[in-house]
Homo-oligomer: A and B are copies of this chain.
Amino acid sequence: MTNSKFSKPTESEMGILQVLWELGPSTVREVHYVLSETKDSGYTTTLKLMQIMYEKGLLNRNDEAKTHVYSSAIKKESVQKQVVSKMINGLFKGSSAKLVMHALGNHHASKEEIQEIKEYLDSMENDGNVKKKSDSKK
């Protein structure tokens, strides 16, 4: 369940989301005002970005009034979680599997080498240090 029905927000989109998370439902002008503190792009840039985000489903908006009010459609926590877990995963993902790939990626994997790797895997099993997800085996 790596949910995320939403395409990962871009850098600028993150900036907008962060403002909205802090301010709550806001107009483009309000968001742009905050953003303009640290960034110098024009008002229509922010507007366009927010329109795109709305289309993508990243933002909700209330357009009953002339001036639309936007709010984040995704929870800060979920993005936080995503960022953190991505980091953890990215920084240390495969453990032992990597050794194998390292070996395979380089030489052209002769039968002998494959055999060698198999033995390596066997020895790992004997250590009870396996970490595979599928341990069906029967």
Listed in ascending order, the chain A residues whose CB lies under 8 Å from chain B are 14-15, 18, 21-23, 26-27, 29-34, 37, 76, 80, 83-84, 87, 90-94, 98, 101-102, 104-106
Contact assessment for B101 and A91 in the assembled complex, using a CB-CB cutoff below 8 Å: no
15 contacts between A and B (CB under 8 A): A18-B90, A18-B91, A18-B93, A22-B94, A23-B98, A23-B102, A27-B105, A31-B105, A32-B105, A33-B105, A34-B98, A34-B101, A76-B91, A80-B91, A83-B87
A80: shortest Cβ distance to chain B, in Å?
7
Question: A98-B22, A98-B23 are contacts. A30–B105 as well, Cβ < 8 Å?
Answer: yes
Chain A, interface SS category: helix
Question: A14-B90, A106-B29 are contacts. A37–B101 as well, Cβ < 8 Å?
Answer: yes
